């Protein structure tokens, strides 16, 4: 496994394709090399991810874990094969590499005990010889130096160099490793050679035995094709795991895939809570049960416009897109408040609902358009991908710009009609129910004249 960082040319200085196009080109060329599994990952400068799984091998991850490691490994390979044959994924890989060449050391504990050599001592000596073992820290007035112990290069270049490792018996517990030619005269027979108490052989095994929640695990990493949604990909993985994974093996998404699943549920719940809170606040402000609904009815057209814009421009509903939708709800709601608040004030002064909302449309048209255009042009650089690392923020700008345009065209006509319809419902239905009846009485359209002063009473 190797890691390489690539910096693309500045498109302002030298024209080039988009990052995704370059990504696909490099992946296609590297895939032609036999035995190489490429994983090209664009690294955005601003990322929204709560996952703890590394995205080096793929953008999304699915973890299988269980007590029986053989079942875990076989289930992971079966599921990975089904994912590769589905045609939904650009690449699928895992952190399970079973064909790693390794050296297995077997200790003859009885023989080592007779020579006064413990297993701990042997492990420490071998680690000091080959594992670049950290020993201690030297501190000066300004600098610190790490002391790392290891065997000389000529004593750790080959497998046969294990015969050059010697262990101290109980007579001398200091860990030493070298050949006896240089130290036999000094230490006599206190050094025990490796081949006397242990043996070694070359085998094949896993590169690492990973664990998840204390159980043996395998993590499957995958990237989806541009034409496939993350929802469809995760649904396929869930259904395939249900069919192919035997009982006793648990599976679940991790990283960005887990964040996606949690986001779908949490964002929907947050949206419901936000609408409820807005309804309560507007109800207290207007002292009405229905006119908060008039204001909130401007939000669905905005969401439809934002989602449609993402679909037209082939952008995913990422976390940036969700943030854009929430910002869009606040902007659109404010525009509806400006119109409905003005209409309620004019109706309280004695105007009819039709005259009140008509005047509100005329008087509030300019501030509504100005607010919408300010938000639209403020989000336009994000939507068109202007600036460094703009590709990751494009869904946010598209959701805001598209939602503002659609909502502005729709709400200027829908909001007045909704106001008149709900006002009729209030007068003819709710006012007859004491609990929902309007608490204030509309003032007459023509205020009564004050009585004449006493000195001007007619004779």
Mean pLDDT value of segment 402-407:
86
Highest mean pLDDT pick, 1-5, 180-184, 400-404: 400-404
Residue 250 clears pLDDT 60, i.e. is over it? yes
Tell me which of 438 and 426 has the higher pLDDT.
426
Are 308 and 373 within one domain?
yes
Tell me which of 263 and 430 has the higher pLDDT.
430
What CATH number is associated with residue 88? 3.30.70.1440
Are 291 and 425 within one domain?
yes
What pLDDT, on a 0 to 100 scale, did the predictor assign at position 83? 92
What pLDDT, on a 0 to 100 scale, did the predictor assign at position 174? 44
What pLDDT, on a 0 to 100 scale, did the predictor assign at position 53? 54
| Domain annotation covers residue 448 | no
> Which contacts of 82-86 are long-range, i.e. CB under 8 A and separated by 24 or more positions?
82/240, 82/244, 83/220, 83/222, 83/236, 83/237, 83/240, 86/236, 86/240
Residue 175 clears pLDDT 60, i.e. is over it? no
Residue 272 clears pLDDT 80, i.e. is over it? yes
Q: Between the CA of residue 159 and those of 102, 275, 377, what are the distances in Å? A: 10, 68, 67
Mean pLDDT value of segment 280-302:
84
Measured distance CA(79)–CA(364) in Å, rounded = 59
Coil, helix or strand at residue 182: helix
| Domain annotation covers residue 321 | yes
State the angle between helix axes of 299-312 and 394-428 in degrees (0 to 180), rounded to the nearest 10.
150
Which DSSP symbol is given to 290?
Answer: S
Please name the residues in contact with 385: beta carbons below 8 A apart, sequence gap of 6 or more.
Answer: 391, 394
Structure tokens, 325: 């939708």
| Domain annotation covers residue 163 | yes
Are 155 and 86 within one domain?
no
| Domain annotation covers residue 140 | yes
Tell me which of 317 and 251 has the higher pLDDT.
251
Residue 435 clears pLDDT 80, i.e. is over it? no
Are 123 and 178 within one domain?
yes
The total number of residues shown for the chain amounts to 459
Domain that includes residue 424, residue range? 287-432
Are 318 and 248 within one domain?
no
Mean pLDDT value of segment 40-59:
61
305-343 pLDDT tens trace: 888 888 888 777 777 777 888 888 888 888 888 888 888
Residue 387 clears pLDDT 70, i.e. is over it? no
Residue 180 clears pLDDT 70, i.e. is over it? no
Q: Between the CA of residue 442 and those of 128, 287, 357, 439, what are the distances in Å? A: 91, 13, 15, 10
Coil, helix or strand at residue 307: helix
What pLDDT, on a 0 to 100 scale, did the predictor assign at position 260? 64
What pLDDT, on a 0 to 100 scale, did the predictor assign at position 448? 44
Residue 37 clears pLDDT 70, i.e. is over it? yes
Tell me which of 185 and 210 has the higher pLDDT.
210
What pLDDT, on a 0 to 100 scale, did the predictor assign at position 263? 65
What pLDDT, on a 0 to 100 scale, did the predictor assign at position 172? 46
Are 319 and 365 within one domain?
yes
Would you place residue 79 in the very low, low, confident or very high pLDDT band (cuts 50, 70, 90)? Answer: very high
Measured distance CA(321)–CA(256) in Å, rounded = 15
Region of poorest pLDDT, from 85-94, 187-196, 329-338 = 187-196
Helix (H) or strand (E) holding 336: helix 319-348
Are 123 and 184 within one domain?
yes
What pLDDT, on a 0 to 100 scale, did the predictor assign at position 442? 47
Are 230 and 353 within one domain?
no
| Domain annotation covers residue 181 | yes
Residue 212 clears pLDDT 60, i.e. is over it? yes
What pLDDT, on a 0 to 100 scale, did the predictor assign at position 228? 81
Are 384 and 324 within one domain?
yes
Mean pLDDT value of segment 7-18:
78
| Domain annotation covers residue 263 | no
Domain count, the chain: 4
What CATH number is associated with residue 139? 3.30.2090.10
Residues 275 and 296 sit within 8 Å (Cβ to Cβ): yes
Task: Write down the pTM of the prediction.
Answer: 0.55
Are 169 and 311 within one domain?
no
Cα 186 vs. chain centroid, distance in angstroms?
Answer: 63
Mean pLDDT value of segment 43-47:
61
Are 15 and 128 within one domain?
no
Tell me which of 224 and 138 has the higher pLDDT.
138
Mean per-residue pLDDT of the chain: 79
What pLDDT, on a 0 to 100 scale, did the predictor assign at position 444? 44
What CATH number is associated with residue 291? 1.20.1640.10
| Domain annotation covers residue 386 | yes
Are 31 and 117 within one domain?
no
| Domain annotation covers residue 189 | yes
Residue 31 clears pLDDT 50, i.e. is over it? yes
Task: Name the nearest CA neighbour of 94 among 131, 58, 50.
Answer: 58
Residue 185 clears pLDDT 70, i.e. is over it? no
For residue 89, the tally of other CB atoms under 10 A from its CB is: 21
């Amino acid at each position: 496994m190797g890691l390489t960082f690539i910096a693309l040319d500045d498109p302002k200085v030298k024209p080039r394709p988009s990052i995704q196009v370059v990504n696909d080109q490099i992946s296609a060329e590297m895939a032609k090399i036999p035995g190489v599994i490429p994983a090209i990952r664009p690294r955005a400068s601003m990322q929204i991810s709560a996952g703890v799984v590394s995205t080096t091998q793929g953008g999304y991850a699915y973890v299988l874990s269980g007590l029986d490691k053989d079942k875990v490994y076989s289930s992971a390979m079966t599921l990975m094969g089904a994912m590769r044959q589905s045609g939904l994924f650009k690449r699928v890989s895992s952190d399970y590499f079973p064909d790693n060449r390794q050296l297995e050391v077997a200790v003859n504990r009885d023989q080592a005990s007779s020579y006064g050599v413990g297993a701990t001592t042997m492990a420490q000596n071998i680690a000091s010889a080959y594992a670049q073992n950290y020993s201690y820290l030297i501190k000066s007035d300004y600098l610190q130096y790490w002391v790392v112990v290891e065997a000389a290069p000529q004593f750790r270049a080959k497998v046969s160099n294990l015969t050059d490792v010697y262990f101290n018996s109980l007579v001398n517990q200091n860990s030493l490793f070298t050949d006896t030619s240089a130290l036999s005269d000094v230490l006599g027979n206190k050094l025990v050679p490796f081949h006397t108490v242990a043996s070694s052989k070359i085998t094949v095994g896993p590169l690492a035995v990973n664990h998840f929640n204390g159980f043996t695990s395998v993590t499957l990493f995958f990237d989806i094709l541009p034409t496939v949604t993350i929802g469809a990909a995760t649904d396929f993985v869930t259904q395939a795991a249900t069919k192919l994974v035997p009982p006793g093996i648990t599976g679940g998404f991790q990283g960005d895939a887990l964040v996606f699943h949690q986001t779908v549920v949490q964002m929907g719940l947050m949206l419901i809570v936000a609408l409820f809170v807005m309804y309560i606040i507007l109800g207290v402000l207007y002292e009405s049960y229905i006119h908060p609904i008039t204001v909130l009815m401007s939000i669905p057209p905005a969401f439809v416009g934002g989602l449609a814009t993402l679909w037209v421009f082939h952008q995913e509903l990422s976390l940036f897109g969700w943030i854009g939708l929430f910002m869009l709800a606040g902007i659109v709601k404010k525009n509806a408040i400006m119109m409905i608040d003005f209409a309620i004030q004019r109706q309280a002064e004695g105007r009819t609902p039709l005259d009140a909302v008509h005047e509100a449309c005329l008087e509030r048209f300019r501030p509504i358009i100005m607010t919408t255009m300010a938000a639209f042009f403020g989000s336009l650089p994000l939507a068109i991908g202007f600036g460094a690392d703009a590709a990751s923020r494009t869904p946010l700008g598209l959701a805001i710009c598209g939602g503002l345009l659609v909502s502005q065209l729709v709400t200027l006509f829908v909001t007045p009609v909704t106001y008149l319809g709900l006002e009729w419902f209030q007068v003819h239905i709710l006012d007859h129910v004491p609990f929902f009846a309007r608490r204030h009485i509309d003032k007459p359209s023509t205020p009564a004249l004050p009585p004449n002063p006493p000195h001007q009473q007619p004779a």
